[in-house]
Amino acid sequence: MMRHPKEEELIAYHDGEAAGREAIATHLGDCPECQEELARIDALLAALNSIPVPEPGEDYGQRVWQQIAPRLPEKRAHWWDVFFSEPKTVGWLAPRRWVAAGAIAALVFAAFIAGRWSKPVGPDTPVAVDQSKVRERILVMAVGEHLGRSEMVLVELANSGPQSAGQKEVNISGEQRRAEDLLEENRLYRQTALEQGDSALAGVLDELERVLLDVAHSPQQITPVQLEDMRKRIEARGILFKVRVVGKELQQRGESGNTPAEPNSSGKSERNKA
């Protein structure tokens, strides 16, 4: 018969550890002393098991989500990860990335726009058509300008950075104030777009609103790391390009004073695809 197992061996045995298990089991069969010792360990752990954990409630998971959701940074898409796995030093060459990021967004949105602004109007309501055309043109121009201004703020943010490597904080108060102003306008245009049933434009404006909110609610002095994070959030949405594409499109429409004629059944189907 083997020697009495040590306390730690019995505890490991209790925990189901495999090493030396058989030998201990055999020993236990013959040794009342060790059986008692094991029973005491069992009793202790069983007693500790009876310590209750307060039940957090059925909706606990939902509550956790509500608490953390506002604190989650935007997650970048998969292909995007490749982009950002570049070394930090390259991180500041942001504009290059904007371009690549935009390629996809631009394509998608060109398709949206092509379809959207070519909505054929019902021939049976000519007066309504005229009025809605006028309203649409006004909205087009105003939103176009708004998007142009938003684009400038975002581009400035993208290009701002510490003047020197050692600089601890970057002041973005200028961009912030403008983002705050733009926010109000943005809400108005988004509502108007929604009322007019233009969900694509409303969608872009909605995304822009989140980005502007993000900018407006940051501290005035932020660290380069925070700035980079913010930039990534903006980039991940591809918002700058959406804004740029939509903005340009709207501007052209506004200048020509027309909604485009007919080239558009194709645009529409493309949009649907998108």
Give me the residues that bind another protein (CB under 8 A), please: 7-8, 11-12, 15, 32, 35-36, 39-45, 47-54, 56, 60-62, 64-65, 67-69, 71-78, 80-81, 236
What crossing angle do the helices spanning 173-195 and 199-216 adopt, rounded to 10°?
A: 160
Tell me the C-alpha to C-alpha distance, in Å, between residue 33 and each of 10, 22, 30, 82, 119: 12, 18, 9, 63, 89
Pick 136 or 209: Cβ nearer another protein: 209
**Helices and strands counted in the chain (H then E):** 13, 2
What's 19's DSSP letter? T
Q: For residues 98 and 158, is the Cβ–Cβ distance under 8 A? A: yes
Secondary element (H or E) of residue 271: helix 265-273
Torsion of CA 9, 10, 12, 13, to 10 degrees: 120
Pick 71 or 273: Cβ nearer another protein: 71
Neighbouring-strand partners of residue 46: none
Pick 141 or 236: Cβ nearer another protein: 236
Pick 52 or 263: Cβ nearer another protein: 52
CB 131, min distance to another protein, A: 39
CB 17, min distance to another protein, A: 8
What's 217's DSSP letter? T
CB 237, min distance to another protein, A: 9
Pick 80 or 188: Cβ nearer another protein: 80
CB 62, min distance to another protein, A: 6
CB 34, min distance to another protein, A: 10
CB 109, min distance to another protein, A: 17
Pick 1 or 51: Cβ nearer another protein: 51
Task: Please work out, in degrees rounded to the nearest 5, the angle formed at the alpha carbon of residue 198 by the alpha carbons of 69 and 272.
Answer: 90
And the tokens for 103? 């390629």
Q: For residues 147 and 243, is the Cβ–Cβ distance under 8 A? A: yes
